[in-house]
Chains A and B, each alone.
Chain A
Amino acid sequence: MQKLDVRLKQIPMPELPVEKRLQTFDEVALGYSEEQALAEAARCLQCTHPLCVEMCPLRIDVPGFIKLVRQGNYVEAAQKIRQENCMPAVCGRVCPQERLCVLGCKNVIGDPINIGGLERFVADYELETGVTIPDIAPSTGRSVAIVGSGPAGLSAAAELAKRGHHVVVFEALHEPGGVLTYGIPEFRLPKKVVKQEIDYVRRLGVEIKTNIVIGRTLTIDDLFDEGFKAVFIGSGAGLPKLLGIPGENLCGVYTLNEFLLRVNLMRAHLFPRGSKTPIRVRGRVAILGARGMDAARAALRLGAEEVCIFYQRKLVGRVDDIRRGIEEGVKLQPSTKPVKLLGDENRWVKLVELVKLKPGQPDKTGKTKLIPVLGSEFLYSAETVVIATDHVPNTVAAIKTARNVKVDEKRRTIIVDPETLMAADGVFAGGDVVSGAASVIEAIKAGKRAAQSIHAYLMKH
C-alpha cells in the first residue's frame, strides 16, 4: 500500500514540455503510463455511494472501472465504460471532468481522482490491443437513417446497431466525426483516436455515407421513401454567429468554424505540401469571443507573434486546456467587447477597436449585465482576427425538409419531446441541434436516449 502523503496528491498527467508544443500539432497531454495509472487508481476510495457516478451524464460506474484498473484488467475496465459510452478515448480527453465526475469525487482528504486520465488510459489500451465487438441482437429488418456523424449521431447509431437495426449515417462533410473531426484540434484530440472510435461504430455494422447533405442531396422524405423507418437528426450547431459590427467581412477575419475547419478538417497547417488548403495567420491575432481557446492555441502553432483572446465574462473550455493555452502564451483580456474592425487600403484587417466593460445595475432577477465603460475604447493591431462568440444550429440542416418538425425560431433549435426526443412522427433529434452548443458527453447521452425511443418506436411500427 502507498503512504498517505503519496495518496493525497493527484498523479500529474505527463505533458509535452511547453517549449516543444508550439512546434507541432501533436497532442499535449501524453496520457498515463501503466505505472502512473495504477498509482492514480490506487488513490480511489471506492465509495459505496459514489457521487462521481451521479455526476456523470452517462452514469458510468467509475469506482467499478477503477477497481478493474487496480487489478490490471484494463480491457475489462474499458469495456465497462464502453457499455455506456461508445467513445471513451474521446471522452477521457475532452469531457470537462472538473464539472462532472471529478466534481463529485469525495476524496475529501486529497486531490480528486483524475477520472478522465484513467478513462483515457484504459480506452487507449483497449484501442491498442483491439476492441472486442459486443454481441449484436439478431437483425430486426428495420432501417434507421442518422443525419450527422457527430457524437450524437454516432452514439445513436452504435446503440441502434447493437439492437439489431440496420443503421446508415449521412454526413455532409467528407469525413465523419462532427466537431470531433472538424472542430477540436489535433493537439487536444488526435484524429487517429477519433478514427479508431468511429471504426468501432462501423464494426458494429453501422454504415457511414459521407458527402451527403440531408436537405439537399436527399430530403428526409426521400429517406422514408427509401425504406428507412425512423430518422435521427444529430446535425449539431454548426452555424457561426457573427458580431454584427463594421469590418467583419474584411480579409483576414475568420469565424471560429472556418478557422478550425481549415486547420482540423483540411489540415491547412501542412500547406502547401501536405494540404492544398491555405490559412492566413500572421503577426498579431485577435480572437473575439469566449469560445476562442482552441483557435488561439492553433494560431500560436501556425506562427502567430502574439495571440490575445478578448471576451466578456468566462472562457468556454476545460480548465486543463485553458491552463495549457496560457502556458503556451495565449493572452487574455476579459471584460472587453469589440466595437469595430478597421482595414487597410486592400481591405485587410489591421486594427480592432474594443471597449472595456463593467457590471451594470442588477435587473429584477438580480443578474448584472456588462456595460461599456464610457471612453474606454482602445485599439489592438491584428493581421488575423477570429470571431469566436457563438454558434447555433445550421439552416441548411435537414430540419427544413423534415415533415412537421418544429424549430424554435430564436434559438434555431429543433423542438422535441424531452422524454422521447421525438420531433415528429418517426423523426427524432438530439445533441447540439436540440440543446444548442453543449458538450460531447451530452450529445452522446442524447444519442443513446433517442436510440432507446427509436427502438421502442420501431418495435411498434
Chain B
Amino acid sequence: MENEIVYKEELAPEIKLMKVRAPLIARKAKSGQFVILRVSEDGERIPLTLIDWDPKNGTITLVFREVGATTKELGKLNVGDVIHDLVGPLGKPGEITLYGRVCVIGGGIAIAAAYERAKKLKEIGNNVVAIIGARTAEQLIFRDELKGLVDKLYVTTDDGSEGIKGYPSDVLKGLLESGEKFNLVYAVGPEALMKAVSEVTKPYKIKTIVSLNSLMVDGTGMCGCCRVTVGGKTMFTCVDGPEFDGHLVDFEELMARLRMYEEEEKLAIKVMEGCGCRS
C-alpha cells in the first residue's frame, strides 16, 4: 500500500529511521530533495529530507528527530501504518559533480543527509572528508557507515563524550589553518552550524553549499512561508533551494523565521501529550 511504513528503526534515543512505500517518489528522487508529509487528517505539513530511495522496491528512507508535535506523532507510527499524505520529491536536486577534494559536514539529525551526499560525491570519484557532530556520542548516527565510506572522518560532540569536544566548524577551521585544501564544502544541520561553517570558509573563498530547513506549508512555491534572503534577494527554499551558497544566506533572518511559532509548537506538544492518546 502506498505511504505504508515498511521498516522502522530507532537510530538513537528520539531519532528514528523509516522506510516508506512511495514508488513514484522513489523513481524520481535525487540527492538533496525532500518530501512533505502529514501524519493525520488534522496534521501539519512538514518537510523531511530524502535520505535514501530505492526505485526498484519503490521505497524511500526518512530520518527524523522527535522534536515537534508532528515528528512525535510520526514516531509513534509502526510498520504497517500508513502516512496520511506524502508528496515529493520537492526542491532542486543538489549538484553532484567531480570537484576533487570535498568536505561534507553534518550536524545532529542531518548527519543522515550528509551521509547521503558523501555517498553520492564519493561514487563519482571525489575525495571526501567528512566532519560530523552531535550533542553526545549516542546521537552520532551513521558514524560507522561514514567511516567505511569516506577518505577521512572527524567526529565531534558537544560534551566530548566521543571524538573532539566542540563543533564540526572548529574542526574545519583547524584543517584549513593547517593548510588543507577543499574545492567544495557542503554543510547540513542546525542553522548555527551552517552559519559557522560559512564564516570559516569565507576568507578562504571555498565554495560552500548549505541545505536550509525553512518552515514550509505547501513546498511547491505557493505560499512563501519558506522565504529566505540569499545575496540580498528573496528566494523560496522549497523551489529555489533547499541548497544555497552559504556565503550569501542571511542566517539571522532564517533563524528568526524558524522561531516564529516557538510558542505555538510548545502548546501543540502540550495538547498532544496532555490527552495521552495516540490519535
Q: Are B257 and A216 in contact (CB under 8 A)?
A: no
Q: How many whole Å from B55's CB to the nearest CB in chain A?
A: 13
In the assembled complex, the Cα of A217 lies from the Cα of B225 at a distance in Å of 22
Contacts of A242 in B (CB 8 A): 224, 227, 234
Most buried by B among A211, A213, A252, A280: A211
Of residues B45, B218, B228, B229, which shows the largest number of chain A Cβ atoms within 10 Å of its Cβ?
Answer: B218
B221 touches A280 (CB 8 A): no
Q: Are B87 and A211 in contact (CB under 8 A)?
A: yes
Give every chain A residue within 8 A of B257 (Cβ-Cβ): 249, 251, 347
Contact with A along B19-50 (1 / 0, CB 8 A): 00000110010000000001000111100000
* Among B42, B234, B267, contact of A274 (Cβ-Cβ < 8 Å): B42
* A239 adjacent to B86 (CB under 8 Å): no
Chain A residues 180 to 238 lying within 8 A of chain B, measured CB to CB, are 210-213, 216-218, 238
CB-based contact A213/B224 at 8 Å: no
> Which residue from B38, B221, B229 sits with its C-beta under 8 Å from A239?
B221
Shortest A87–chain B CB gap in Å is: 22
A216 pairs with B222, CB closer than 8 A: no
Are A211 and B86 neighbours in the complex by a CB distance under 8 Å? yes
Residues from chain A with a CB closer than 8 A to the CB of B270 are 272
Closest Cβ neighbor of A347 among chain B residues: B256
Q: Are B87 and A280 in contact (CB under 8 A)?
A: no
Q: How long is the Cα–Cα vector from A418 to B260 in the complex, in angstroms?
A: 45
A451 CB → nearest B CB, Å:
25
Assess whether B223 is in contact with A257, with CB atoms less than 8 Å apart: yes
Q: Which of B223, B227, B268 contacts A261 (CB 8 A)?
A: B223
Chain A positions within 8 Å of B213 at CB level: none
| Cβ-defined partner of A213 (8 Å) among B85, B220, B259, B265 | B220
Closest to A270 in B: B42
* Complex CA distance for A261 and B44, rounded to whole angstroms: 12
CB pair B264 A271 closer than 8 Å: yes
CB distance from B237 to the nearest CB of A (A): 12
Report if A396 contacts B (CB, 8 A).
Answer: yes
Are B42 and A240 interface neighbours, CB within 8 A?
Answer: no
For window 253-277 of A, CB contacts with B under 8 Å fall at 254-255, 257-258, 261-262, 266-267, 270-277
A213–B222 CA distance with the chains assembled, in angstroms: 12
CA distance A342 to B220 in the complex (A): 28
User: Given A252-B260, A258-B217, A280-B260, are A216 and B224 also a contact pair (CB < 8 Å)?
Assistant: no
Residues in B with CB closer than 8 Å to A261 are 217-218, 222-223
User: Does chain B have a CB within 8 A of A278?
Assistant: yes
Which chain B residue lies CB-closest to A255? B224
Q: Are A258 and B223 in contact (CB under 8 A)?
A: yes
Given contacts A252-B260, A272-B264, A394-B221, contact A172 B87 (CB under 8 A): yes
Determine if A395 is an interface residue (Cβ-Cβ < 8 Å).
yes
A255 B229 Cβ-Cβ under 8 A: no
* A126 on interface, CB distance cutoff 8 Å: no
| Chain B binding surface, main DSSP class | mixed
Q: Which of B43, B84, B221 has the most CB of A within 10 A?
A: B221
Query: Is B253 part of the contact surface with A, judged by Cβ < 8 Å?
Result: yes
Once the chains are docked, how many angstroms separate the CA of A334 from the CA of B239?
34
- How does the 8 Å CB contact mask read for B66-103 relative to A, with 1 for contact and 0 for none? 00011000000000000011111110000000000000
B192: CB under 8 A from chain A? Answer: no
Instruction: Verify if A315 is at the interface (C-beta below 8 Å from B).
Output: no
Identify the closest chain B residue to A273 (Cβ): B271
User: Is B222 a contact partner of A240 (Cβ separation < 8 A)?
Assistant: yes
C-alpha gap A262/B252 in the complex (Å): 25
- Considering the chains assembled together, what is the distance between the CA atoms of A361 and B56 in angstroms? 66
Q: Is the CB of B264 within 8 A of A396?
A: no
Q: Would A347 and B88 count as touching, CB distance under 8 A?
A: no
| A248-B87 in contact (CB<8A) | no
Given contacts A174-B87, A212-B87, contact A276 B256 (CB under 8 A): no
Most interface-central of A218, A278, A348 (chain B CB within 10 A): A278
Q: Which of A249, A262, A271 contacts B253 (CB 8 A)?
A: A249
Given contacts A217-B24, A248-B234, contact A396 B221 (CB under 8 A): yes
Q: Does A173 interact with chain B (Cβ within 8 Å)? A: yes
- A252-B260, A272-B268, A280-B261 are known contacts. Are A347 and B253 too (CB-CB below 8 A)? yes
Bound complex: CA of A272 vs CA of B268, how far in Å? 6
Cα of A210 to Cα of B220 in the assembled complex, Å: 14
- Separation of A327 and B225 alpha carbons in the complex (Å): 31
Q: Which residue of B lies closest to A391 (CB)?
A: B222
A346 within 8 A of B: yes
Complexed CA–CA distance, A266 and B42 (Å): 7
Q: Which residue of B lies closest to A394 (CB)?
A: B221
Report B246-274 residues with CB < 8 Å from chain A CB: 252-253, 256-257, 259-261, 264-265, 267-268, 270-271
Q: Which residues of B contact A (CB under 8 A)?
A: 24-25, 28, 38, 42-45, 69-70, 84-90, 217-218, 220-225, 227-229, 234, 239, 252-253, 256-257, 259-261, 264-265, 267-268, 270-271
22 residue pairs bridging A and B, Cβ less than 8 Å apart: A174-B85, A211-B85, A216-B28, A216-B89, A217-B87, A217-B89, A238-B221, A238-B222, A248-B234, A251-B260, A257-B224, A267-B42, A270-B42, A272-B267, A272-B270, A276-B70, A277-B44, A278-B264, A280-B260, A395-B221, A395-B239, A396-B221
Closest 6 CB pairs of A and B: A278-B264, A347-B256, A258-B223, A211-B87, A276-B44, A255-B224
- Which positions in A face B, CB cutoff 8 Å? 172-174, 210-213, 216-218, 238-240, 242, 248-252, 254-255, 257-258, 261-262, 266-267, 270-278, 280, 346-348, 394-396
